[in-house]
A and B are shown apart, each in its own frame.
Chain A
Amino acid sequence: MELVVNQTHYRLLVDGDRRLLWVLRDELELTGTKYGCGEGQCGACTVLIDGAAVRSCLTPVSKIAGKEITTIEGLAQNGKLHPLQQAFIEADAMQCGYCTPGMILSAAGLLKKTPHPTEPEIRRALEGNICRCGTYPRIVRAVQMATANSGAAHA
C-alpha cells in the first residue's frame, strides 16, 4: 500500500490491520509520534490526516492509504519551526515533553478549522490530550501565542 507522510510517498508491504502509530514508528522510523495508551485517551499519538487531528493508535493503515499524513517531523518547513512549535518553546509549555508532539498536532488540527479559537475552544479541542506533568495552562498560552502570530495557515 501507499502512504503519504510529510509529503513523502512510501510504498509498504504491511498488514492493513496494523495501526498507523506502529507503522510510522517501526516501519518509517518516525518516532516523534508517541504511544501513550493505545485506546485514544491520551492524544500522544496524534497526527494530522488531511489536516484533521487523528489518533494514530486506533487508525488501521488500510483506512488512510493515499491520504496526506503529517507527523511532528513534518511540521517545520525549510528548517523553520511551525508557529506552534515556536510558541511551545517560548511559553515553556513542556516539562518531560513526551506529550508535546501530540499536543502540537492537536492544536494544529484546531487552528486548521478555527484559526482564532477562544480559550474555551482551545481547552475543548485539547481535552483528549493528557499532559501528566500538568503544563496545561502554558499549553493554552502557547496556542494563543501561535494564534496571535497568525500561524494558523501554516499547517
Chain B
Amino acid sequence: MPDIEQERYELFEAPAYQFEPGNFDFERRDFFKLVGGGLVLLLALDRPAGAQESGRPAAFRGDARPPELAAWMHIAEDGKITVYTGKVEVGQNIRTSLAQAVAEELRSPVAAIHLVMADTDLTPYDMGTFGSRTTPLMAPQMKKVGAAAREALIDLAAAKWKVDRSSISIANGAAKNKTTGESAGFGELTHGQKLLKTVDGAAVTPPSEWTIEGTSAAKVNAVDIVTGAHRYTPDIIRPDMVPGRILRPPAFNAKLESFDVEEAAKIPGIAIVREGDFAGVAAADEIVLNKAIAAIKTTWNIGPQPSSKELFAYLKAHPAEQRTRGDFGGSNSPVHGDIEQGLHSAAHTLDATYTVAYIAHVPLEPRSAVAEWNGDKLTVWTGTQRPFGVQAELAAAFKIPDDHVRVIVPDTGSAYGGKHTGEAAIEAARLAKTAKRPVKLIWTREEEFTWAYFRPAGVIDIRSGVASDGQITAWEFHNYNSGPSAIDTPYDIANRTTQFHPTESPLRQGSYRGLAATANHFARESHMDDLAAAIGMDPLEFRLKNLKNDRLRAVLQAAAEKFGWGNVKNERNRGSGLACGVEKGGYVATCATISIVPAEYQGAEVTPAPPKVRIDRVVTAFECGAIVNPEHLKNQIEGAVMMGIGGALFEAIAFDKGRVLNARLSQYRVPRFSDVPVVETVLVDRKDLPSAGAGETPIVGLAPAVGNAIFHATGTRLRSLPMVPRGFIQPS
C-alpha cells in the first residue's frame, strides 16, 4: 500500500467523533430483513490496513451491522448484485471504477453490479471520500468481497450439480459445469438460500490478469446525467417540502445583537427561527423567502479582522505552535546533514519567498440539504464527502443518538475537498424542526463563496545552495500555514530540512484538491528552475541530476519526450517550463508552453489592460500504479490541469473586515473555455504496482510548470499564486 499522508484540516473544525460504547449484537436475520433472500457476504475489516478507512473505531449501538466491517455485498435471488460502500461519488468516477473492481472478481459485466453508496443506514461506516484513498484502500476491499462471493458461488454450483469445485468455472455472470456444459445464473444458484458468510478476504485477481479493470468502462450513470434524470441533493423533492434560507451575518465572527421580526411576522405562511446566532426562514417559495429575509431587522456586532492585503505578514506573525505537523498527519523532518556547511560549499545560494492565496472550491452544486424529521428521527440528503461525519455532526447538534440520524448522499455535483462538513445539513434540519415540514436549503453562490471554507493561504521560505556541477548542496524549506502534504523534497540532497509551521488563519480553511501539495510543489519546482538558471543548466537535466527516484524519473522523461523538451526554443514572450512531483502515491510531471499576449480590446476609453498569460499547451505524464480505467484517468488528469489553471493564474479570495469582496462568479474568475490549452496526457501503466488514487496529484505540477514557462518567456520569476490575477505586469 502506498504511504499516504493524510490531510485533516477539517478535523480541527468539526466536533471530534464520539462513539459511545455498546454491545453489538449481530444477528443474521437483520441482514435478510433488509435485503430478502440470497447470498450475503461480509468482509471483516483488515486491520490495520483498513483501520483509517472503514470500520467504526468502536462498536456502536442498535445497528444491523458488525462494527468492524469493511464491505458487504448481496446477490439476490433474481441475480441482482448489490455492493454497499460508504464512499461518495463526486465526479471522480468511483461508482464506475469500484463496479469494475467487483465485476472483475465476479467475472461479470460492469452493468450487472449495482453500487449503493453513502447511506448511513445501509452502507458500512466510512471515514470519508478524500485524500485519493478510494482506489488504493477501498477498491482492494471490494475486490476481496467480490472474490469471496465468486468462491461461494462455486461452492453452490458444485453442490447443485454434485461435482467437485474444480469442475466449475465462473464467467460472464454465470457458473458453468465444465463436464456437462450446464450453466446457471447467480440468481438461480442463490435461489431459496439465506446464506450469510463472513469472509476475511480471498485471493484477488492481479492486474496482469485483469480483463475488466484496466479497460475504459463507460461511466455507469451517464444516461441519467445527460437526460437530467439524476437527482442531486438540490433536486430531491419530498411531500410538503418548503424551501429555506439562512439569515447570514454581514461579516465573519459577527454576533447577533438584535433581531426584530415584527414586520416579517406579518407575512403569512412562513416559519422564522432564531437560536443564538442562527437565524433563518422557511416559506412557500423563493419570493416569499426573500421578502421575509428582507423584512427581518437585525444588528450585529462585528469585531476587527485582518484583510487580504496584510495576509502574508499576518500568517508569519501569528504562529499556532500548539499545533504540530503531527496534527496534520505528518512529522517535521529533522535536519539531515549540515545546512550551513552546504550553503558554504555552494557556488550559488538562493533565498526566496513564495506565497499562495486562499482560493474557493466553487463546486457547481452549492452546499445544500433536504432535511425531514419523523418524531425525533432525522433523515438528511446532502452532498458531503463525509456522510458518517455529518451524521455525527447532526447527532451532536440536536443531541440525539447517531442511529436516529440517516444521512444519504446522492451522487454529488463535485466537491474537490470542499464538502467535508455538514453546515447545510444542520441548517436545513434546524429549519425543518420549526417548520414541521421537510425543508430544502440550497446555499446561494454568494453563501458558497463566503460561508464554506477555503484552501489555506500560505507563505513558503526556501534557502538553498547549488554547486557548479548542478549538485544541490543545501535545502531549507519552511511552510507557514498552507500545509505539509508533499513538503519533503523528492530530490537527493544531503543537507536538508523541511518544516511546517501552523499559524492562525484569518479565514476558515480546510481541504482542497491536492491541498498543500500544490503550494509546496509551486515553491519547490519554481526554486529548482532558479537554481538551474543560476548555474546555466537545462531544467530537465538539472532535475535528473539530483533525482534518484525511478518512478519520478520515468514520468519526467515520459512528459519531456511527449512534449519534445529537447527541441524547445524559448523566445521573447513565448516559453516552456516543466515541473514534477510525488503526492498520495502518484507521480506526475507537467510541461507547459505559454505566450504573453495582448489583453482583449476593452474599448477606447478604458486604460489598456496589461497583457495576459495564455497557456498554449500542457503535457502531463502520470503514473499511479496499475491503471483501473484509462479513459476516466485521462479525464481526471485533464480536469486537474484545467482546475489548476485557475489557482495558478487568477483565482484568489479578496477579503476585508470579515467580508469576502469577490463572492460572485462575476467577480471571482474560474477557468472557462477560452482558457483551455491543448491538453495532452501520457499514462504510465505499472501493472506490477498497486493502484493509487488519481483525483488530486495531477494538479500539483501545473502551477510551477506555468511559472517556469513564464520565467523562460520573460525572465521574470513570479512567486505568488495566483501569478497574474490582473494580467502580466513586469515588476518595476
Contact = CB atoms under 8 A, between A and B. Distances in A.
Interface of A: 15, 17-19, 22, 25-26, 29-39, 41-42, 44, 71-73, 75-76, 81, 85, 88-89, 92, 94-101, 104, 122-124, 126-127, 129-140
Given A18-B287, A42-B665, A130-B672, A99 B364 contact: yes
A139 B673 CA distance: 10
Contacts of A136: 642, 671-673, 676
A39 B226 contact: no
A39 B666 contact: yes
Given A96-B90, A97-B225, A41 B665 contact: yes
A85 B411 CA distance: 19
B665 A39 contact: yes
B641 interface: yes
Interface string B478-514: 0000000000000000000000000000000000000
A138 B218 CA distance: 14
B218 A135 contact: no
Given A18-B286, A35-B234, A92-B631, A97 B413 contact: yes
Interface in B428-450: 442, 444-445
Given A72-B228, A94-B222, A94-B225, A39 B243 contact: no
B287 A15 contact: yes
Most buried by B among A100, A130, A134, A137: A134
Contact of B673 (A17, A71, A96, A123): A123
Contact of B218 (A31, A39, A92): A92
Given A137-B676, A137-B679, A138-B635, A96 B364 contact: yes
A130 B414 CA distance: 13
B253 to A, nearest CB: 26
Given A75-B227, A101-B228, A127 B445 contact: no
A31 B364 contact: no
Contacts of B674: 123-124, 127
Interface in B243-257: 243
B687 interface: no
A117 to B, nearest CB: 13
The 10 closest A-B pairs by CB, nearest first: A32-B228, A134-B642, A96-B91, A98-B413, A97-B225, A31-B235, A72-B228, A95-B91, A134-B639, A41-B665
Nearest to B442: A35
B287 A31 contact: no
A128 to B, nearest CB: 8
B363 interface: yes
Contact of A73 (B225, B228, B679): B228
A33 B635 CA distance: 24
Contacts of A37: 445, 664-665
Contacts of A31: 228, 231, 234-235, 237
Nearest to A142: B226
A125 B434 CA distance: 45
A39 B445 contact: yes
A71 B235 CA distance: 15
B414 A132 contact: yes
A19 B290 CA distance: 13
Given A35-B442, A134-B671, A135-B642, 4 more contacts: A32-B235, A101-B228, A135-B638, A140-B673
5 contacts: A36-B445, A37-B445, A42-B445, A122-B673, A137-B676
Contact of A76 (B227, B364, B445, B670): B227
Contacts of B362: 132
A100 B218 CA distance: 16
B227 A42 contact: no
B412 A96 contact: yes
A33 B232 CA distance: 11
A24 to B, nearest CB: 11
Interface residues of B, number: 56
A133 B412 CA distance: 12
Nearest to A76: B227
Contact of B643 (A22, A76, A99, A134): A134
Nearest to B675: A136
Interface in B222-279: 222-223, 225-232, 234-235, 237, 243
A75 B672 CA distance: 25
B548 interface: no
A37 to B, nearest CB: 4
A38 to B, nearest CB: 6
Interface string B443-486: 01100000000000000000000000000000000000000000
B449 to A, nearest CB: 10
Nearest to A123: B673
Interface in B632-670: 632, 635-636, 638-643, 664-666, 670
Contact of A18 (B218, B228, B285, B365): B285
Contacts of B235: 25, 31-32
A58 to B, nearest CB: 12
Interface string B132-150: 0000000000000000000
Contacts of B414: 95-96, 98, 132-133
B615 to A, nearest CB: 12
Contact of B93 (A22, A26, A39, A95): A95
A42 B285 contact: no
A53 B365 CA distance: 21
B364 A42 contact: yes
A130 B364 contact: yes
Nearest to B230: A97
Interface in B62-99: 90-93
A73 B229 CA distance: 7
A36 B442 CA distance: 10
Contact of A127 (B635, B665, B672): B672
A35 to B, nearest CB: 6
B47 interface: no
A39 B227 CA distance: 24
Contacts of A15: 285, 287
B225 A22 contact: no
B269 to A, nearest CB: 14
B366 interface: yes
A130 B670 contact: yes
B318 interface: no
